[in-house]
Structure 1
Amino acid sequence: MTAEDLLATCWTTAGEADPAGNDQRSPLGLRERAEAASAAGFTGFGLLHADLVEAEREYGLAGIRSIFEDNGLVHVELEALAGWWTDGPRRAASDAVRRDLLEAAEALGAHHIKIHGDVDDGPLHLDVWAEEFAALATQADAVGARVGIEFLPWSNVKTVHDGLRLVEAAGHAAGGVIIDVWHTERAHTPPAELADVPGSRIVGVELNDADSEVVGSLYEDTVRRRRLCGEGSFDLPGIIAALRTAGWSGPWGVEILSDTHRALPVREAAEAAYRTAAALLK
């Protein structure tokens, strides 16, 4: 249906995992998820840290790589690192996750590691954050990966412009932004503005859709009510055209989080996510 590569982000194949809970692990095994993604047509796969730990315990990193290779999943995304700007016990916990993600990125040949800002919307001290971001980008670069910050409208990195400000201040070529269209739409960023994002700073893109009206909090809306591409209110053709103008050619991530999607059998969920996104990329 499309010559462009699509990546199933971690939630798209996670089944009835709870993104809002303390335990976010998928109840499905990695092999089942990878096979479902591959059968649908995806050539990329996203893995949450909690699921990475479980899969590594069962298969080892070499075994995970073999599963991906057996299923033609050549684009690997790892997520997500929080607290990378902090100190004390919170930083120690963040650094433990960082070590896991960097080790896995090297072993799996991951394209990038996803991070985010302070979801409690604390102050962003640009000089400190830029220094920490540059250090993280240096570490990612050393294992052959990039690091991308995903801006979230309820965090202290709310828009693509906020993300770019941090990335440019850090000044490392391995650093960039993850552009999730849900977040650009909910942050009221016009699609045309995405055409001006430097292509070298786009680390990843995530496609999805939603109704025009937010129900509940932004966080609740994003984890419970996303829609398949083309089934909501977003101007996805305009967004895709703008991102292509910026220089992005894939892999295009597909991130579907909703109560409806989670309840589907994983092969059906993956097929629907692929089919609806691919139809827009023809």
Structure 2
Amino acid sequence: MSSTPPLLASCWTHAGDAAPQTEDERSPFDILERVRAVAESGWSGIGLVHADLIETRRTIGLQRLGSEIRSSGLEFVEVEFLGDWWTSGKEREASDRVRRELFEAAEALGAQTIKVAGKMFSRDVDLSVMATEFDLLADEAREVGSRIAMEALPFTNFSTIGEGSRFVTDVGNSNGGIIVDIWHVYRAGNTPDDLLTDMNPDYLFAVELNDALEPSPPYEQLWDDTVDQRRLPGEGDWDVPRFINVMRELGFSGPWGVEILSEEHRAKSLQDEVTSAIRAAQSVFAAADRDGV
């Protein structure tokens, strides 16, 4: 029997025809219907993106959404996505607005995790400034009952999990850690076993599963690859069961996120999105159990 742990459906896994870094990131699906579909299909948690949270606040209100999440039995919540949190000037003004709104939503919904990232498509950043600001960001998140989980993406200044892990370790704030997405591992040219030496388990806050085909595309095509070409866990070329067992060896116990971003997934109905993703996740956990024996 598979020991499938609690699973969290990331915001894009149940968003329908919506994608990050587009003009309008709002899902075409009703937010309450999404919560119910996620809960009824067996998930233990849900992720929500900033654009949908702002639309929710404008319409039914965050308290209504929080009530629905709690009554549905969903235990885990994450909100995203914050960038430019270390900057100044107009960039910082825009980032601070998103920051306030994400913190407001995290508090209202009881979110355990707020996702952030480093500098996109550039390594030109003062790490000492970034470290100071990350420390402050983590402290502020603690005040609303949440934690900061930074994604180390191949197209940011933290291009590998190892770089991101060293950064948060050096900062040393117990409320600021790393989210490890299997996509960011393989597309950075690493393997799951590299994480046994590259990742400080004390700062391993969240994990996300998906899959993809090899070979990896050129750097210039990585963004399109991550947004349009992901596969359900077990339907690509990666050793997802080994990744799961490495995360277990590092001490991670969940909830495990499932983040599916693809043209194929966005074309599905809401029900097909959530059921296909959770069934695929359950299958790779069963395989991980067999491999780990």
Instruction: Bin the TM-score by the shorter chain.
Output: over 0.9
**1:223 partnered with 2:224:** no
Shift of 1:88: 0.3
Q: How does 1:170-209 map to 2 (within 5 A)?
A: 170-196=171-197, 197-209=199-211
Q: How does 1:1-282 map to 2 (within 5 A)?
A: 2-196=3-197, 197-215=199-217, 217-282=221-286
Please, what TM-score do these two structures have when normalized by structure 2?
0.93
Q: CA deviation at 1:3?
A: 4.3
Q: Tell me how far 1:189 sits from its aligned partner.
A: 1.6
The 1:215/1:3 distance shift into structure 2, 3 A limit, reads closer
Structure 1, unmatched stretches of 5+, are none
RMSD between aligned residues: 1.3
C-alpha separation in 1, matches of 2:26 and 2:139: 29
Deviation at 1:25, TM superposition (A): 1.0
One-letter amino acid of the counterpart of residue 240, structure 1: I
Q: State how far apart, in whole Å, the 2-side matches of 1:121 and 1:160 are.
A: 16
Contact residue 228 and residue 262 of structure 2 kept, 8 A? yes
- One-letter code aligned to 2:192: P
SS in 1 for 2:180: strand
Q: Distance in 2 between matches of 1:188 and 1:242?
A: 17
Give 1:20 shift: 4.0
Higher mean Cα deviation, 239-248 or 52-61? 52-61
1:281 Cα shift? 1.9
> Does the 8 A contact of 2:165 with 2:200 survive in 1?
no
User: Between the two proteins, what is the percent identity of the paired residues?
Assistant: 45
CA contact (8 A) 2:116 2:151 kept: yes
> Any gaps of 5 or more consecutive residues in structure 2?
287-293
| AA at the equivalent of 2:168 | V
| Mean Cα deviation higher: 130-139 or 198-207 | 198-207
Deviates more, 1:189-198 or 1:164-173: 189-198
**CA distance in 1 between partners of 2:62 and 2:195 (Å):** 36
Provide the rounded CA distance (Å) in 1 between the counterparts of 2:72 and 2:95. 31
Deviation at 1:207, TM superposition (A): 0.1
CA contact (8 A) 2:12 2:19 kept: no
SS for the counterpart of 2:61 is helix
Alpha-carbon shift at residue 139 of structure 1 (Å)? 0.3
Alpha-carbon distance in 1 for matches of 2:180, 2:278: 18
TM-score normalized with structure 1 length: 0.96
CA distance in structure 2 between the partners assigned to 1:33 and 1:170 by the alignment: 37
Flag as ranges the 4+ runs of structure 1 deviating above 3 A. Answer: none
**Is the contact made by 2:82 and 2:116 (CA closer than 8 Å) also made in structure 1?**
yes
SS in 1 for 2:101: helix
SS in structure 2 at match of 1:204: strand
Q: CA deviation at 1:59?
A: 2.0
How many equivalent pairs are there?
A: 282
Give 1:40's aligned amino acid: S
Q: Residue 226 of structure 2 aligns to which amino acid in structure 1?
A: T
1:170 shift after superposition: 1.5
**Deviations along 1:18-63, whole A, 9 cap, x unmatched?**
3241211111111111111112211100000000001122221211
> What is the identity, as a one-letter code, of the residue corresponding to 2:146?
A
